[in-house]
Amino acid sequence: MSTSYQTLVAGLSELGLTAMHDGVDAVIDAVNSGSMSFTEGLDRLVSMELKKSRTRRMESITAAAHFPSKKTFEQFDFSFQPDLRKDEILDLQELRFMEDGSNVLFIGLPGVGKTHLAIATGMAAAQKGRTVYFISCHELLENLRKAKAENRLEYRMRHYACYSLLVIDEVGYLPIDGEEANLLFQLVARRYEKKSTIVTTNISLGKWGDMFGDAMVANAILDRLLHHSKVFTIKGRSYRTKEYSEKVADAKQ
C-alpha cells in the first residue's frame, strides 16, 4: 500500500504541477519542524506553481507576438530625444491605455525610435500576460488582400482582431490603395474601443489622406484610431545616423 506522501507526489506529477512536485519535500519538512503553518506551506507551493505558469504564458505570448527584435524601455536613450514626454512614454508600460482599448501612435521620420518604443510596449504587455501581435502594415494588408481573394477574409480578420494589443508598424512607408484602405478600416473598426492598437508612421496625420488611395476612408480610419489615443510625435534626429556618425568619427581618430 502506498503512503499518503507517495500518492500526493504521484498526484502532483499526474496533474502536471511540476513546481509543487519539486517543492513539496522542503515544505513538508518546514511544516513538520514547526517553522511554517500548513496554510503557509500550501500557499508557498501554490505561489511556486503560479510563478511557473505565468512565466510559461509570458514566454508563449512573446514567441507568438512575432517581434522583429527585443527592445526595452531601459535601452531607450531619452536624452537623445529631449522633446519626448519621458514620463508619459514610461507610463505606457503600466498598460493603462489598454483598459479602455485606447490606441498609441508614434509619428516621426525614420530612425527616431518609433518601432523600438512600439516593441517595448508590446513586450511589457506580454509580460503582463496580454496577447500581442506585431506586424508591418505592408504585410498585414498583403495578408488581408490574399485572404479576401481566397474567400477567407473573415477568418483572417478575426485573427488580427482578437489580440489585446496589435502593433501595426510602418504605416505609410508604401502607398495604400483603395481596397487596402478598406481592409484596414474594417480591422480598425472591429478593434475600436475594445482592443488597443499601436501604429507607427512616418507620415504626419494631416497627410494621411494623400497616403491612402481614398481620403474618405483615411479619415474614417484616423477618426477611430484617434478617438481614444495617445499620440507621440518624435521630432528628434535619427538614432541610426547617430550610430553611423559615431562610427565614422571613431574611424577618423
**Cβ 170 to Mg ion, closest distance in Å?**
6
Which of 23, 41, 108, 122 binds ligand ADP (CB under 6 A)? It is 108
Sign of CA dihedral 8, 10, 16, 17: positive
Which one among 20, 23, 36, 115 touches Mg ion, defined by CB under 5 A? 115
C-alpha cell at 78: 531619452
Task: Please compute, for residue 87, the number of CA atoms within 13 A of its CA located in the half-sphere on the CB side.
Answer: 0
Local structure of 201: helix, strand or coil: strand
Candidates 21, 114, 130, 156; binder of ligand ADP (CB under 6 A) is 114
72-91 residues in contact with ligand ADP (CB under 6 A) are 75-77, 80-81
The yes or no reply on residue 201 touching Mg ion (CB under 5 A) is no
Residue recorded with cell 502536471: 16
User: Residues 8, 12, 16, CA angle at the centre, nearest 5°?
Assistant: 170
Interatomic CA distance for residues 15 and 149, integer angstroms = 45
For ligand ADP, the closer CB: 82 or 206? 82
Dihedrals φ, ψ of 227, to 5°?
-50, -50
How far, in Å, CA of 191 to CA of 161, rounded?
6
If the CB atoms of residues 67 and 208 are measured against ligand ADP, the closer one turns out to be 67
CB of 144 to ligand ADP, least distance (A): 22
For residue 174, give Cα distances in angstroms to 136, 142, 180.
11, 12, 11
The kind and range of the H/E element at 170 are strand 165-171
Query: Which of 11, 15, 29, 110 forms a contact with ligand ADP (CB under 6 A)?
Result: 110
- State the binding string over 74-113 for Mg ion (x if CB under 5 A, else -): ----------------------------------------
- To ligand ADP, the closest distance from the beta carbon of 136 in angstroms equals 11
Least separation in angstroms between CB 232 and ligand ADP: 11
- Judged by beta carbon, residue 108 or residue 122, the one nearer ligand ADP is 108
Eight-state DSSP code of residue 177: -
**Contact set with ligand ADP (CB under 6 A):** 71, 75-77, 80-81, 108, 110-116, 200, 239-240
**Contact set with Mg ion (CB under 5 A):** 115
